[in-house]
Structure formats: C-alpha cells, structure tokens
Amino acid sequence: MIHTIRFWLNNARTTALAQSLLPAVLAFCMATQVEGFSAGLGFMAVIGAMLAHLSMNLFDDYFDYRIKGSEFRDAMARKGFRARISKCAYLTTGKATLKQLLIACIVFSAVACVFGAVIWWFRGNAILWLTLIAGGLGVSYSGAPLRLSYHGLGELVIGLLFGPMLMAGVYYAACGHFDWSVAFVSVPVGLLVANVVYTHAIMDYEPDKEVGKMTFAVLLKSKKRMLAASFFILFAPFAGIIGGVVSGYLSLCYLLTLLVLPMAVSLFYLMIAFVRRPEKKFRPRWWMGPMEHWQSIQQANLDWFMIRWYLSRNLLSFFCLIIILIVFIF
C-alpha cells in the first residue's frame, strides 16, 4: 500500500506542489489575523487544495495520453526538438495502465472532495460553488469537451485556479469571509503560478505545436510576442503589489516583495536567451534558490529546461514566503 501511494504521488509530480501549497499556506496565514479563524478548517482546505492539484496533474496525463499518446513527444525528440519527454513515463514503460491512472485520478479527487464536504458543512455554499467551478476548470484543462489547454487557455486557467480561486477558497474556509487584501495578493500570486506553466510552454513550443496542443506560447506564434507576454506575466505581479499599497489595501511592508525582482529579471533574461540562442548554457547561482538533484539533471541533459523551471518555481516560492513573513512580523 505504501509503495503504491508513493508511486502515484511521484507520478502526480509532487515537485510541482509549490504551485498550490505556497498560495494555500499564504491564504491560511493571512486568515490567522482576522476574527473567526479556524485552524482546522483552514488546514483541511490546504490539504484538499494539494490533493486537487495532484489529481489535476494526473488527469492532465490521462487526457493527454488518450488524445495523442506519448509517441508524439518521443517523435519530437528523434527529430531533434529539445522537449522534456519524461511525462507519462510510467505509462510508456508499462508500470501502470490507463485504467489504473483513471482510478488514481478518482481517488485523489475523492479524498479532496471529502475535505471540501466538511468545510462546506461549516462554511456554507460559497465553498461549494468555488469547489464546483474549480473542479470543472481543473478537469477541463485537458479533458473534453473544452480541453482548455489545447486552445491557448491553459495558462489562464492555471493562474486563475492557483491564484484567486485557491487563495479565496482557503481564506474563506479558514475565517468564513472574503477580504480585498487577499484579492490584491492572489492576483500577483496567480500570475506567478501561470508564469511557471508559461515558461514551460515556451520551452516546449515545438513539440506542443506538432502534437496540436495550443498552449498560449503556440497561440502567440511570434517569438517577440512570446517574450512580450513573458515580460508582462513576470513583472505585472510587482505592479499589482505596488497598486495594492498605493490604494491602501496593503501595508508598505508588502513592498519587500520587490526583493525578488532580480530573480524575475534573471528569468526573463534566460527566456530571451532560450528563444534567441537555445544552445547557450547557464549555471545555477545561489541567489536563484534551491535546484535539487542538479548533477542528475545535467547527466540527463535536462539542465537547459530545469534551470528555467526551477527559477520560475523559486520566484513564486520566495514571493509567497516574503508575504507570509510580513503577515506575522509586521
């Protein structure tokens, strides 16, 4: 049983959990400062959000594999495109079947729904509607009939789900009401989550284009447009925080998030380099944050991909951690 749980947790890409865990924990921490706070309900909301995220990752594999199969990505590698082809390896190697994957998707979703049902009982229909909308968007990310990620809307869905919707849901679960300060924080966080996916999409532009997966990068077509969108997604969060401070919804302390602005500048530079000179190599710097298993990544020739993915993840992580510190210290 433990081996099976570990197997599916690994397949669900727990390395990407920062995209849901940190926004959820951030909303939880913000809720601790207001009346009506319930640590139990807030904790269940955080765990439920993480399980829903893992379920969404598995559903993405399920629908992607059903639609085209993994052979398309393997074919792109043979053509010389530098795609990251490790996705769905557990299916291509025969370690799991498509039916077993679907069962795993349902199990993760069901456990998340149990937590959601408890919160609904105590907090009312606002949680129910948020859960239904989020669940529908999550399944529709790759699933029929909408298949949003195949029509250039994947990044928008991810940003909406793991920014405003997730943070509003956790905050409401924890304290029973909404607050404008959460809105001014959740939109920048959502953009930084979307940036993780969009950074991935730029690097997977060629294989995604071949298999017909219309990511936002594929939709834009032009390299200049892709970089312009990257610039907006990377730097708009900082403008949003400044706007919240100027309007009085956030304290001056929130300007400490500008400390991670150099990370955003570095990532944008790396994306420019990838688009213009993809063969150029870069080494991780200490201020880029943790980049685990780097030696193994280099041996697998995935360093070109992972340095950018890690940096986008770490930018999101440090942005959220700074705000968490602000909540408790200031």
Say if residues 138 and 52 touch (Cβ distance below 8 Å): yes
Of the chain, the percentage scoring pLDDT greater than 90 comes to 69
pLDDT at 79: 46
pTM over 0.85: yes
CB atoms within 10 A of CB 16: 17
Q: Three-state secondary structure along 85-139?
A: CCCCHHHHCCCCCHHHHHHHHHHHHHHHHHHHHHHHHHHCHHHHHHHHHHHHHHH
Distance (Å, whole) CA 91 – CA 100: 10
pLDDT at 51: 96
Half-sphere exposure in the Cβ direction for 227 (13 Å, CA): 13
- Over the stretch 153-163, which tens digit does the pLDDT of each residue have? 999 999 999 99
CB atoms within 10 A of CB 101: 21
Structure tokens at 47: 């765990």
- Over the stretch 173-209, which tens digit does the pLDDT of each residue have? 999 999 999 999 999 999 999 999 999 999 988 877 7
DSSP code of residue 261? H
- Over the stretch 12-60, which tens digit does the pLDDT of each residue have? 988 888 889 999 999 999 999 998 999 999 999 999 999 999 999 999 8
Distance (Å, whole) CA 296 – CA 136: 37
The dihedral sign for the CA sequence 237, 240, 246, 249: negative
pLDDT confidence band for 280 (50 / 70 / 90): confident
Of the chain, the percentage scoring pLDDT greater than 70 comes to 93
pLDDT at 75 over 80: no
Q: Three-state secondary structure along 187-222?
A: HHHHHHHHHHHHHHHHHCHHHHHHHCCECHHHHHCC
What spatial distance separates the first Cα and last Cα of the chain, rounded to whole Å? 45
